[in-house]
A and B are shown apart, each in its own frame.
Chain A
C-alpha cells in the first residue's frame, strides 16, 4: 500500500476478519501481515490434538484467549477406538497454564480430561469464562467442584455427552454465594442426583442465565420452581418429564412454561408422561429448536406438538414420529434446516414403527431450507433418494443410516449406487456424507466424480475392491476426513494415493484389508503423516507384514510421532533420511 499503514490500524481491520479460513489467508499474504496477524489472533481451533504440539501453537500465537481441541477420531463414538488410545488434554493444559494466563475459553471434544486437569484450569486462568466438554471422559464431579469454586467469572459450563463419574457430592454448592455470572449450564449427561437447593439458589441469583439443561435425575416436580426463577431462559433441557397425574402439578408447570416468553430451544424429556405434554404448548410457537431424541413420545402426541411449531429450524426426534409425523413437519415447519431421526430400538428386527423412506421424501418436499439430514430407517429405495436429491439440491449434510448392513433397495433389490449418485450429483455443496445399505464400487465412482465440496465421508460395509477407495481419494478434492469400516479396501488404492493423505486431516480404516507392510511403507515414506496401527490382538512383533491390520489411523502432523501411546498402538517409523535431513 502506498501510504503508511500503521500496525494498530491493520490490527483493527483484522479484528473484523474472524473466520478461520480468512485468518489463515491473511497470515499468508506477506511478512508484515503474517507477524501482525499472529499477534492478534485470539481464537484457535485444532482439529486433531496430535497434528501440532502445544509448544508450536504457543510460540506462534502468543495472545490466544480461546482454544478448541479435538482428540479421538469420530469413530470413537461407536466404540471403535479402544480405551487408553490417547487424546489426553494434559500436555495442552500444562503448557497453556504457563503461556496463556489470560485464557478465557476452552472447548474440548473426544478428549481425556482428568480432575487434575480441571483443577489446573480453575487455578491457572484468572479470567476463565467458558468450558465446553463434548464426549469427553476421565473426570468426576470433583473436577467440576474445582471449576465451580475457583472460576469467579465463569459464564458457560457445558457438558455434552460426557462420561462423568458422578460422586453425587455437593459440587454445585461450590459456586460461591456471590457468584452470578453464569449464562449457560448444561448438566444433561450427569447420572446422579443434583443438590436441588444449591441448583435453585444458583439459578435464582444468575439473572443472565440463558441456557439450563438438566439431567434425568431432576424430577418434574422441581421444574416449575426452577422455571419461575429463570423466566428469561432461552434454552431449556428438562429433567424427567413424568410424574403421577396431579392436576396442581400440571397447572404449575403450565404457568411456569407460559412465563418463559423467550424460550427458543427445548430438549431433555427423559421419560415422558404424555398427559403433561400440553404444558409446553404455550412455548411451541416460539421454538426454533426441539430435541425429542430421548423421548418415548408416540406419534399422535408428537403430531400435536409439532403442529404448533411453525418456526422450528432444528428437530431431533426418535422414529416414533413415523411418516405421518414427518408429513406434519413438512406441512408446518417451513423454516426447518436440520432434521435428525434416531432409531428408538435399533436392535429389534421386528419393527412396529412406520418410518420409511416416505417420511424423508415428505420433508424434502415440504421444507425448502432443509440442509442437514441424519436419518435412520429400515428401508429405502434409489427412487426415493433421487427424489430427495432433486427436491433439495441445497443439502450440505446427508447421513443416511439404513440399519441393517448391506440392505438393498427394497423395490428393485439393487444397490444404492444410483440413489447416492443422485445425491452427490444434485447437491453440489454437500460437505458431509454417510453411506449405508448395499453399495458397489460404482457409488464411489459417482462420489469421486461429483462430490467436489465433500469434506467428510463415512463408509461401512460397502464397495467391492480397491477401486472404490481409489475413486474417493483421487476424486474428492475437498476431502478432509475419511472413515471406513468393514470394507474390502486394501493396500493398492491406499499406497497409490498416499500423497492425498497429507492433504487431509485423517483417515480411519478398520476391519479392512490393509496389510501391515503397507502401513509400514506409508509411514516410512510420508514425512508428515503419523500412521498408527491399532491392534489389540497380540504383541506387535509377532505379526508378519502380510497380515491385515485391525485398525489404521493415519493423520497428518508436524509434531512427529506421539509419545503417549499404549502398547496396542504403533506409529510406523519414518525413513531415517527424512528425519535427519542432511
Chain B
C-alpha cells in the first residue's frame, strides 16, 4: 500500500471503502455497503477483486458521470439500510425522482449500466408517466427528440378536413364555377364568408332543402326482420320486432375489457380532437405541395367540371342549387372528393400507400 492510502485508513473507524472511477477520470471512495448495493460494482469487487485501493479503482461504465453517480449513491445509501419500512422507501423514491427530464434519462441509463434494477424500474416508470397522455409532438418536445419519421413510416390519420388541400382546391374550383354561372344566369347566390358560422350554413342548407326538395321524405315503415335464434324464450336476445334497434342482449361487456389492449397500428394525431382517428388502421398522411397553384391545366379542369356536373345530374337537382349547397357545406371542410391526378400530389399519396409498409 502506498503512503497516500495509509493516510486515509483510520484504524479506529475500521470502515471499508470501495474506490470508483467515473468516465471523466475522477476517482472517489465510497462506503462499502453503499457501493455494494450496485450489482455491477459488487461483481467487480467479488469476482475481480477490484476497488480496494485508488490504483485499483473500479472503472464505472461510460454512462455514469460524477453527478449521476452522486445521485445513485444517495439512492443506494438510503435503500441499503435494512430497517426501513415500505412506506419510508416509497416516500423517499417519490421525492428522489423529482428532477428534470434530461437528468432522469441519464439516471435511468446509468442505473441500467450498473444493473441496479430497483432504480431502473423506478426511473423507467417515472419516464413512462411522462410519456402517457401526450401526443407525439409533445413527447418530442419533452425529450428533445428529432422529428425524423418519413411519410412511409409515419402513419398519421387524415387531418381535420378543413385543412385538407383537396378541399381547398375543390373550394377554389367551385368558386370559379360559381362565378361563371353567376355571370351566365344571374342567379342569387348566398354569400359565403371565410369565417366559420355554423348557424349560417345550416340555415342555408335548411332553406335550400325546404325550398328545393319540398316536403321531407316519408319515413319508411320499420322492417320486420326476425331470425330464429335458439334461445327463443330469452326475450332479451331478440331484437324488438317493430321497435327500437337498441334491444341489446345480455352480457356483452364494453368494448375494451381491460385497458391493456393496444390498437393495431398507431396513428396518433397531431391534434387532440383526432386522437381516436385511424387508430384501427393505417392511414397515410396527406401530403401536398405547398405551392399549389390556382391554375390547373385545361384538360384537368375540364375533367373536373364534367365530373361535378355528372354528380349533379345523378342526384337529379338543378346545378346552381346543388352548387350552393355544396359550397355552403364545403366551408365546414366537407365536400365531394374528386380525383386529382393532374398535379402529382395525389399520385404521390397513393404511391406512398403502396410502397413500404402497406402493400
Q: Contact partner of A496 among B275, B326, B338, B351, CB < 8 A? A: B326
A291–B236 alpha-carbon span in the complex (Å): 13
B314 touches A29 (CB 8 A): no
Known A9-B120, A56-B358, A521-B314; judge A470-B243 contact (CB<8 A): no
Residues of A within 8 A of B227 (CB): 79
Most buried by B among A79, A374, A436: A79
Residues of A within 8 A of B148 (CB): 30-31
B240 touches A343 (CB 8 A): yes
Q: Min CB distance, B277 to chain A, in Å? A: 4
B252 touches A134 (CB 8 A): yes
Q: Mark B237-255, 1 if CB is under 8 A from A, else 0.
A: 0111111111111111010
Residues of A within 8 A of B139 (CB): 25-26, 29
Residues of A within 8 A of B222 (CB): 405, 461, 486, 511
Place the interface of chain B in its size category: 35 or more
Q: Does A248 contact B (CB under 8 A)?
A: no
Q: Does B158 contact A (CB under 8 A)?
A: yes
Q: List 15 A-B contacts (CB under 8 A).
A: A1-B145, A3-B102, A21-B263, A23-B263, A30-B147, A34-B153, A56-B265, A79-B225, A79-B227, A342-B235, A342-B236, A467-B202, A498-B336, A511-B220, A528-B353
Q: Min CB distance, A213 to chain B, in Å? A: 9
Partner-binding segment picked from A175-183, A418-426, A571-579:
A571-579
Q: Does B223 contact A (CB under 8 A)?
A: yes
A6 touches B109 (CB 8 A): yes
A20–B339 alpha-carbon span in the complex (Å): 34
A577 touches B341 (CB 8 A): yes
Partner-binding segment picked from B11-19, B38-46, B127-135:
B127-135
B140 touches A29 (CB 8 A): yes
Which residue of chain B has the shortest Cβ distance to A499 in the bound complex?
A: B161
B338 touches A525 (CB 8 A): yes
B127 touches A13 (CB 8 A): yes
A581 touches B149 (CB 8 A): no
Which residue of chain A has the shortest Cβ distance to B128 in the bound complex?
A: A16
Partner-binding segment picked from A111-119, A198-206, A472-480:
A472-480
A556 touches B223 (CB 8 A): no
Residues of B within 8 A of A291 (CB): 250-251
The 8 lowest CB-CB distance pairs between A and B, nearest first, are A24-B266, A16-B128, A20-B262, A51-B281, A47-B280, A28-B136, A401-B246, A27-B266
A43 touches B261 (CB 8 A): yes
A57 touches B264 (CB 8 A): yes
How many A-B residue pairs lie within 8 Å, measured between CB atoms? 391
Most buried by B among A1, A557, A575: A1
Known A12-B124, A28-B156, A467-B206; judge A452-B335 contact (CB<8 A): no
Q: Does B198 contact A (CB under 8 A)?
A: yes
Partner-binding segment picked from A323-331, A408-416, A500-508:
A500-508
A503 touches B158 (CB 8 A): yes
Known contacts A20-B262, A503-B278; 14 additional CB pairs below 8 A are: A13-B131, A23-B263, A34-B149, A47-B280, A52-B280, A77-B239, A135-B252, A316-B250, A500-B161, A525-B337, A527-B349, A528-B283, A546-B316, A556-B281
B245 touches A485 (CB 8 A): yes
Q: Does A191 contact B (CB under 8 A)?
A: yes
Q: Min CB distance, A396 to chain B, in Å? A: 10
Q: Does B108 contact A (CB under 8 A)?
A: yes
B216 touches A488 (CB 8 A): yes
B135 touches A78 (CB 8 A): no
Q: Min CB distance, B219 to chain A, in Å? A: 6
Most buried by B among A13, A14, A46, A466: A13
Residues of A within 8 A of B259 (CB): 18-19
Q: Mark A437-469, 1 if CB is under 8 A from B, else 0.
A: 000000001000100100100101100111100
A60 touches B337 (CB 8 A): no
Residues of A within 8 A of B112 (CB): 6, 8-9, 12
Residue positions of A touching B, CB distance < 8 A: 1-6, 8-9, 12-31, 33-34, 37, 41, 43-48, 51-52, 56-57, 59-61, 66, 68, 75, 77-80, 107, 134-135, 160-161, 163, 188, 191, 267, 291, 293-294, 316, 318, 340, 342-347, 372, 374, 376, 397, 399-406, 434, 436, 445, 449, 452, 455, 458, 460-461, 464-467, 470-471, 473-475, 477-478, 480, 485-488, 490-492, 495-500, 502-505, 511, 513, 515, 517-518, 521, 525-528, 545-546, 556-558, 575, 577-579, 581-582
B280 touches A78 (CB 8 A): no
Q: Min CB distance, A221 to chain B, in Å? A: 22
Q: Mark B167-201, 1 if CB is under 8 A from A, else 0.
A: 10000000000000000000000000000001000
A403 touches B273 (CB 8 A): no
Residues of B within 8 A of A579 (CB): 350
A51 touches B202 (CB 8 A): no
Q: Mark B268-283, 1 if CB is under 8 A from A, else 0.
A: 1000011111111111
Known A23-B262, A52-B281, A486-B222; judge A513-B246 contact (CB<8 A): no
Known A52-B264, A496-B335; judge A293-B315 contact (CB<8 A): no
Q: Min CB distance, B309 to chain A, in Å? A: 13
A460 touches B251 (CB 8 A): no
A498 touches B250 (CB 8 A): no
Q: Does B333 contact A (CB under 8 A)?
A: yes
Q: Contact partner of B332 among A30, A460, A465, A474, CB < 8 A? A: A474
Residues of A within 8 A of B339 (CB): 525, 575, 577-578
Which residue of chain A has the shortest Cβ distance to B322 in the bound complex?
A: A492
A517 touches B281 (CB 8 A): no
Which residue of chain B has the shortest Cβ distance to A524 in the bound complex?
A: B339
A404 touches B243 (CB 8 A): yes
Q: Min CB distance, B190 to chain A, in Å? A: 16
B354 touches A502 (CB 8 A): no
A511–B220 alpha-carbon span in the complex (Å): 8
B278 touches A43 (CB 8 A): no
Q: Min CB distance, B252 to chain A, in Å? A: 6
Q: Min CB distance, B101 to chain A, in Å? A: 8
Known A48-B281, A346-B235; judge A405-B157 contact (CB<8 A): no
B239 touches A52 (CB 8 A): no
Most buried by B among A22, A316, A517, A579: A22
B216 touches A464 (CB 8 A): yes
Q: Contact partner of B282 among A56, A503, A517, CB < 8 A? A: A56
Residues of B within 8 A of A29 (CB): 136, 139-140, 143, 145
B358 touches A558 (CB 8 A): yes
Residues of A within 8 A of B341 (CB): 577-578
A467–B131 alpha-carbon span in the complex (Å): 41
Q: Min CB distance, A312 to chain B, in Å? A: 16
Residues of B within 8 A of A403 (CB): 240, 243-244, 247
B217 touches A513 (CB 8 A): yes
Residues of A within 8 A of B266 (CB): 23-28, 37
Q: Does B2 contact A (CB under 8 A)?
A: no
Residues of B within 8 A of A504 (CB): 277
A581 touches B281 (CB 8 A): no
A2 touches B248 (CB 8 A): no
Known A79-B226, A558-B281; judge A1-B102 contact (CB<8 A): yes
Which residue of chain A has the shortest Cβ distance to B275 in the bound complex?
A: A21
Most buried by A among B109, B236, B242: B236
Q: Does B79 contact A (CB under 8 A)?
A: no
A28 touches B268 (CB 8 A): yes
Q: Does B63 contact A (CB under 8 A)?
A: yes
A28–B131 alpha-carbon span in the complex (Å): 12
Which residue of chain B has the shortest Cβ distance to A338 in the bound complex?
A: B254
